């Protein structure tokens, strides 16, 4: 029963937080000014301008626009894009797909590499392998992401010419090709390599450093000494027993990592011209495309908060002390 009560509290917190983020971003976006002149254009006839304002709801007070946005969002209607003259859900759906094509493999690869290197560094504290891994991770964490991404682009695209400079367009596959044909084509994978590499380096830092710290504690526990005394091999002790006990802090890190990762994708996608959510958010700011920007913030905030709540619930399930505190 305590777990059910804890879950209900976290779900209530999730709804309240999403509502708070949506409210804050809605009014902050409009603090930059009205999109009328950018979207409609001052050269149009006054009656045409008024008709367009009415069709997009811009003639209503901001408070009314806010309530309308909330009501429509519940049903999945995020409005019409000023820039594309298309439903926001259609615009963001395509961009989200492109972002996930980059994020999901990066999350799997970066998480696996980070955990594996963290186990090694924690198990061999003070040795050369620990020094090299830890200093490399700290260097990556300290370096500005824009600087790292730009350097990678200059080195491997413009200087060496090994990879395309950006985009995910596949000129070798026609527009009628299926989704699987496009994402499995050599051209797509070739273009994916650089942004994927930078995103993996962005992801692996946090599980690596967290896992190293957790492993330092686990390796001092009695059960590790007992396993060593039985003659069990070192790799089996590390990855089958010690690493499993050190994974709990990594679970609690997941919400922060997802939020940090989404912020980093804005930089990565713009440097490598990847047509995903991050690049679209920057483009919508330039175009005063408020509906797209609102929808992107709503989607991003919901993902981060839902992941955070799920991580909290998983943590409470694994460690009952959390829900009883």
Who contacts 290 (Cβ-Cβ below 8 Å, separation ≥6)? 29, 30, 35, 82, 284
pLDDT of residue 251: 72
How many alpha carbons fall within 13 Å on the CB side of residue 92? 24
- Bin 231: left if φ > 0, else alpha if -120 < ψ < 50, else beta: left
Ordered structural domains, the chain, with CATH = 87-323 (1.10.3720.10)
pLDDT of residue 1: 47
Give the angle 104-111-268 at the CA atoms, nearest 5°.
Answer: 55
**d(Cα 68, Cα 60) in Å, to the nearest integer?**
10
pLDDT of residue 325: 52
Q: CA 165 from chain center: how many Å?
A: 22
Q: What is the pLDDT along the chain (325 residues), one digit of tens a residue?
A: 466 777 778 778 878 888 888 888 888 877 766 666 556 656 666 666 667 676 666 777 778 888 888 888 888 888 788 777 788 888 888 888 888 888 888 888 988 898 888 888 887 888 898 889 889 888 888 888 888 888 988 988 888 888 887 777 654 444 445 556 666 677 778 888 889 988 888 888 888 888 888 888 877 777 777 777 777 777 777 777 777 777 777 777 776 777 777 778 888 888 888 888 888 888 888 777 888 888 888 888 888 788 777 777 776 666 665 555 5
C-alpha closest to that of 272 among 98, 153, 169: 153
Say what the pTM is: 0.75
Q: Which residues pair with 80 in a beta bridge?
A: 87
Per-residue exposure over 117-151, b if at least 16 CB sit within 10 Å of its own CB, e if not: bbbbbbbbeeeeebeebbebbeeeeeeebeebbee
């Amino acid at each position: 029963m305590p777990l059910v009560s804890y879950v209900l509290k976290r779900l209530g917190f999730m709804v309240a937080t999403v509502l708070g983020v949506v409210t804050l971003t809605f009014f902050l976006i409009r603090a930059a000014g009205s999109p009328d002149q950018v979207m409609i254009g001052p050269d149009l006839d006054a009656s045409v301008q008024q008709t367009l304002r009415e069709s997009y709801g811009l003639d209503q007070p901001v408070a009314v626009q806010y309530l309308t946005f909330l009501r429509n969002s519940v049903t999945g209607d995020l409005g019409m894009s000023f820039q594309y003259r298309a439903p926001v859900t259609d615009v963001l759906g395509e961009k989200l797909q492109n972002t996930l094509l980059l994020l999901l493999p990066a999350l799997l690869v970066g998480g696996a590499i980070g955990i594996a290197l963290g186990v090694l560094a924690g198990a061999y504290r003070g040795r050369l392998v620990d020094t090299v891994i830890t200093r490399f991770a700290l260097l990556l964490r300290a370096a500005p992401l824009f600087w790292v991404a730009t350097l990678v682009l200059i080195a491997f695209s413009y200087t060496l010419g090994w990879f395309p400079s950006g985009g995910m367009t596949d000129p070798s596959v026609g527009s009628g090709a299926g989704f699987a044909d496009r994402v499995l084509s050599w051209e797509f994978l070739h273009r994916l390599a650089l942004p994927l590499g930078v995103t993996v380096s962005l992801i692996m830092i946090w599980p690596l450093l967290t896992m190293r710290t957790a492993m330092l504690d686990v390796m001092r526990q009695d059960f590790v000494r007992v396993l060593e005394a039985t003659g069990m091999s070192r790799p089996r002790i590390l990855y089958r027993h010690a690493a499993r006990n050190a994974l709990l802090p990594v679970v609690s890190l997941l919400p922060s990592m997802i939020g940090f990762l989404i912020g980093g994708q804005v930089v990565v996608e713009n440097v490598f011209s990847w047509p995903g959510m991050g690049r679209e958010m920057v483009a919508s700011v330039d175009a005063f495309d408020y509906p797209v920007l609102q929808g992107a913030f709503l989607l991003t905030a919901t993902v981060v908060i839902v992941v955070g709540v799920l991580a909290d619930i998983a943590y409470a399930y694994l460690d009952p002390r959390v829900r009883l505190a």
